[in-house]
Amino acid sequence: MLILFNRSIPLKMARTFWSSGVLKLAGVQSISTVGLDNINLEKTYVVASNHLSYLDIPLLCKVLPFNLYFVAKKQIKSVPFLGWYMMLTGMFFIDRKNKNKTMESFTSVGKRIKEGKSILIFPEGTRSKTGSIGELKKGAFVLASKAGVGILPIKITGTGKIWNVKHGTLKPGNVTVEILKSLPTSSVQSLALNTKIALTNA
């Protein structure tokens, strides 16, 4: 990026070389993707996915046909390499310790989404140890509502068995990514409820 002055190049490399390499090294043998026709490349989304493993981010980077941006707590900025990469590629940072600043950050991120950046959020807030969908936090839906864009729900299956969060072990296996029909902009409560229903019933 520093040579070509183009922030999108590192993101495209993450979608190809980095994601493929991580998944292969971890033991992902095959990826089955369902519902790619539910994506309209002319639209911007808040991608809301269930979260099973550290492999979910490289998996979605590889499968989705557009660059993904992430929302992280501002402390990540100081993490060597990872924080630097996220800053240079235009990722979003939020101050979670201050509610007023958090809402200001949401407003700022919402404007950036309107400009054409699709973001990925795991609305459960943490990885599921059981595989079932937990309670969804409101952040993703506040952003979607402020930006006036739809939610793109995605259901991942299999990554938790390959990279076991509880035991920290790797075991080769297959994964499935189901891209569901996007949910149009509505109230925060409606988006959260409809996303929970979509992910649970997928």
Domains of the chain, each with CATH number or no CATH: 8-201 (3.40.1130.10)
With CA atoms as reference, report the closest residue to 159 among 175, 181, 141: 175
pTM score above 0.95 = no
By mean pLDDT, which of 33-42, 87-96, 123-132 is the weakest?
87-96
Q: What tens digit of pLDDT does each residue of 100-121 get?
A: 767 777 777 888 888 888 999 9
More confident residue, 138 or 36: 36
pLDDT at 159 over 90: yes
Average of per-residue pLDDT across 62-68: 92
Instruction: Report d(CA 17, CA 165) in Å as an integer.
Output: 24
Q: Find out whether 153 and 183 touch, Cβ atoms under 8 Å.
A: yes
pLDDT band at residue 11 using 50, 70 and 90 as cut-offs: confident
The pLDDT value given to residue 119: 92
Instruction: Return the pLDDT at 55.
Output: 92
Instruction: Give the DSSP per-residue string, 1-70.
Output: -TTT--THHHHHHIIIIIHHHHHHHHTEEEEEEE-GGG--TTS-EEEEE---STTHHHHHHHHSSS--EE
